[in-house]
Amino acid sequence: MADATHDDVGYVPPAEIEEQDLYHAKSWITKYVFCQDAKVIAIQYSITAIAIGLVGLVLSWLMRLQLGFPEAFSFIEPDDYYQFITVHGMIMVIYLLTALFLGGFGNYLIPLMVGARDMVFPFVNMISYWVYLLAVVVLCASFFVPGGPTGAGWTLYPPQAILSGTPGSDGGIILMLVSLALFIVGFTMGGLNYVVTVFQARTRGLSLMRLPLTIWGILTATVLALLAFPALFVGAVMMLLDRILGTSFFMPSIVELGEHLSYGGGSPILFQHLFWFFGHPEVYIVALPAFGIVSDLISVHARRNIFGYRMMVWAIVIIGALSFVVWAHHMYVSGMNPYFGFFFATTTLIIAVPTALKVYNWTLTLWRGDIHLTTPMLFAIGFIVTFVNGGITGLFLGNVAIDVPLSDTMFVVAHFHMVMGVAPALVIFGAIYHWYPKITGRLLDETLGKFHFWVTFLGAYLIYFPMHYLGFVGVPRRYFELGDTQIFDQSVGDLNAFISIVTFIVGFAQLVFFFNLYRSYSKGKEAGPNPWRACSLEWQTAETPPGHGNFGKELPLVYRWPYDFNVPGAKEDFIPQNMSQSEAFPKRKAAAKTSRSRAAKK
């Protein structure tokens, strides 16, 4: 066996402190509504995030109607179009992906995978969800105020975000900023919980280097979020002051439609730095949990240990750290000091190295495995394809000189949708197919799942791969219509129409997924406690779905890492983390005994 850290199989340190009792719900309301059990909070987070995500999906259809068929839909005015793209982007990045990965999967998986009975601060955890829900409600409310939601683009760049030439500059932008601030407050409460739980509440024997990569991904993403979101908070508060009290943090002297405004002396670029100091780590807040989860999906369904575990852990940590020194690659043509370009291009391309290593290790995990092409595995493979594709286009945009012609074109839109839209979404689907049996006790239907996968994966690829080429042609992003122009010929319009049609097909295919979720809840095949024969602790619970307190009377003791698949000599093709050496290798033990007795005889 190689000299890996999981080699110290068998050692479990003694208990240092006694277990504390949990909060036990006394009524229906405290059990299912104002609930402090992380598993219920996880479901609440997930349902809310997916519901608001559906709003984001419908908004994307509306904008694709306009882009694909610019003359056909007179009810979409430029105002509406800019509001659609803005709210769509905001919902997908923050209210769906961040909330679902950290609030949803984080809450469900952290306590179970680290062998804890619950989060360490269950009450704060509950508040976290309700503040998040409030943030979502405030965001939705902006549709109903005069002027509608903001149409400033999801980046909310001032000065235009708060001036009258932008839709929603009355109430919409105020509600947007308030909603973001609320989201950050809610997230911070949840995030502190996730970090403290991983560091403080791991069960005995579960050293950091025995954690599943899912937990490493979620943990690192949470740390990033705790450090990055405050920058957005500050930016949002300052912009609110500029908008409401007339301060000039981000506002220089301005003549708007011939009229001198009373602003002066502020810097629009300052906001961009604050925004992207948050915004770039945000990309990894979404990506790192996906990296972690997909590692586990691949390992379990390929029945082989994850390749290069330590490298995978360090890559996550290094990517997380580097993500704080690359933010200005979003600003190469923003008018900031051009010499920044050298630094940020270099850091950005360096980040490609640990990221590429992760990709190699995923594919090398498939090598000489025993690959079961289950639905979760298919989604994991789909992730590899789309992530590699979206990752390499990042090497174009990160390389400062290349960014000059491509920035603010459809190339950028295609890139970030592929890498932080499609790729993480495929992981989310894979993860739901993978853990649904633990959450409900029943398997999702495989046939429907495979149909869902192929339409979603191939459809998404057909949407975003050709879209890069629109960017090469020079089609700018955030254009309501291309209008009369010499540069773009009919073929550009044709491609846009094609992309729109595929968008509707992929969108509707999601109904199959929801039908599957609904039907399998009562009619799905009984899953049993460990349908995928996986090693990590959440599959070793006494009950499925796990009851209050997660594990039975005794917390599990951890003897090994979570990737002991097909270990030579083991009695089965997997060894659960809480199985000791003698249970896992009964023959070896017997052999050891006989050889010892032989030695004694001699």
Partner 1 sequence: MITALIIILVAVGSVAFHLMSPWWWTPIASNWGFIDTTIIITFWVTGTVFVAILFFTGYCIWKFRHREGVKADVEYEPENKSLETWLTIGTTIGVVIMLTPGLFAWKQFITVPEGADEFEVVAQQWQWSYRLPGKDGVLGKSDVRKITPENPFGINADDPKGKDDVLIESDDLHLPIDRPVKVLLRAIDVLHDFYVPQFRAKMDMVPGTITYFWFTPTKVGNYEVLCAELCGVGHHAMRGMVVVDNDSDYRAWLAEQTTFGQSLAKAQQQKSIDLASTTDRATSEKKVSAQ
Residues 282-311 that bind partner 1 (CB under 8 A): 302-305, 307-311
Mark the segment that binds partner 1 (CB under 8 A) among 14-22, 316-324, 345-353, 551-559: 345-353
Q: Dihedral angle at the C-alpha atoms of 549, 555, 560, 564, nearest 10 degrees?
A: -50
Instruction: Identify which of residues 164 and 200 has a Cβ nearer to partner 1 in the complex.
Output: 164
Closest CB 300 distance from partner 1, rounded Å: 13
User: Which segments of 409-445 does DSSP mark as H helices, in order?
Assistant: 410-417, 423-440
Among 339, 522, 598, 602, binds partner 1 (CB under 8 A): 339
Residue 509 in contact with partner 1, rule: CB under 8 A: no
Q: What does the angle CA 15 – CA 21 – CA 25 come to, to the nearest 5 degrees?
A: 150
Residue 349 in contact with partner 1, rule: CB under 8 A: yes
Q: Which region holds residue 371: left if phi is over 0, alpha if psi is between -120 and 50, else beta? A: beta
Please give the radius of gyration of the chain, using alpha carbons only, rounded to the nearest integer: 25
Closest CB 296 distance from partner 1, rounded Å: 15
Among 62, 297, 345, 455, binds partner 1 (CB under 8 A): 345
Which residue is listed with tokens 């479990």? 12
Mark the segment that binds partner 1 (CB under 8 A) among 46-54, 159-167, 196-204, 438-446: 159-167
Instruction: Identify which of residues 191 and 266 has a Cβ nearer to partner 1 in the complex.
Output: 266
Interatomic CA distance for residues 280 and 494, integer angstroms = 33
Structure token digits, residue 554: 């005794």
Mark the segment that binds partner 1 (CB under 8 A) among 132-140, 193-201, 340-348, 436-444: 340-348
The DSSP string of 384-397 is HHHHHHHHHHHHHH
Among 487, 522, 523, 599, binds partner 1 (CB under 8 A): 487
Q: Using alpha carbons, list the distances in angstroms from residue 280 to 272, 407, 468, 581.
A: 11, 16, 21, 44
Residue 321 in contact with partner 1, rule: CB under 8 A: no
Residue 117 in contact with partner 1, rule: CB under 8 A: no
Q: Which of residues 366-395 bind partner 1 (CB under 8 A)?
A: 366-373, 378, 381, 384-385, 388-389, 392-393, 395
Residue 507 in contact with partner 1, rule: CB under 8 A: no
Q: Which of residues 244-273 bind partner 1 (CB under 8 A)?
A: 252-258, 260, 264, 266-269
Query: Which secondary-structure segment (H or E) carries 260?
Result: strand 259-260
On whether the CB atoms of residues 75 and 264 are closer than 8 A, the answer is no
Closest CB 277 distance from partner 1, rounded Å: 18
Residue 363 in contact with partner 1, rule: CB under 8 A: yes
Residue 486 in contact with partner 1, rule: CB under 8 A: yes
Residue 483 in contact with partner 1, rule: CB under 8 A: yes
Structure token digits, residue 411: 């190339």
Residue 447 in contact with partner 1, rule: CB under 8 A: no
Q: What does the angle CA 423 – CA 425 – CA 427 come to, to the nearest 5 degrees?
A: 75
On whether the CB atoms of residues 110 and 119 are closer than 8 A, the answer is yes
Mark the segment that binds partner 1 (CB under 8 A) among 275-283, 416-424, 437-445, 477-485: 477-485
372 backbone dihedrals φ, ψ, rounded to 5°: -95, 115
Residue 72 in contact with partner 1, rule: CB under 8 A: no
Interatomic CA distance for residues 76 and 74, integer angstroms = 5
Give the number of other CB atoms < 10 A from CB of residue 505.
13
Among 32, 360, 508, 514, binds partner 1 (CB under 8 A): 360
Which residues pair with residue 565 across a beta bridge? 574
Q: Which of residues 536-565 bind partner 1 (CB under 8 A)?
A: 563, 565
Interatomic CA distance for residues 539 and 439, integer angstroms = 11
Closest CB 312 distance from partner 1, rounded Å: 10
Site string for partner 1, 125-154 (x = CB under 8 A): --------------------------xxx-
- Side-chain-side CA neighbours of 505 within 13 Å: the count stands at 18
Q: Which of residues 511-540 bind partner 1 (CB under 8 A)?
A: none
Interatomic CA distance for residues 450 and 429, integer angstroms = 11
Structure token digits, residue 389: 């594709």
Q: What does the angle CA 533 – CA 534 – CA 535 come to, to the nearest 5 degrees?
A: 125
Interatomic CA distance for residues 188 and 185, integer angstroms = 5
Instruction: Identify which of residues 3 and 18 has a Cβ nearer to partner 1 in the complex.
Output: 3
Strands (E), 109-187: none
Q: Which of residues 406-445 bind partner 1 (CB under 8 A)?
A: 407-409
- Side-chain-side CA neighbours of 310 within 13 Å: the count stands at 6
- Side-chain-side CA neighbours of 64 within 13 Å: the count stands at 23
Mark the segment that binds partner 1 (CB under 8 A) among 22-30, 322-330, 418-426, 473-481: 473-481
Among 228, 400, 439, 499, binds partner 1 (CB under 8 A): 400
Closest CB 20 distance from partner 1, rounded Å: 36
Instruction: Identify which of residues 185 and 385 has a Cβ nearer to partner 1 in the complex.
Output: 385
Among 121, 469, 498, 521, binds partner 1 (CB under 8 A): 469
On whether the CB atoms of residues 41 and 129 are closer than 8 A, the answer is yes
Instruction: Identify which of residues 133 and 384 has a Cβ nearer to partner 1 in the complex.
Output: 384
Residue 356 in contact with partner 1, rule: CB under 8 A: yes
Query: Site for partner 1 (CB under 8 A): how many residues?
Result: 114
CA 27 from centroid of its chain's CA atoms: 33
Q: How far apart are the first and last CA of the chain?
A: 30
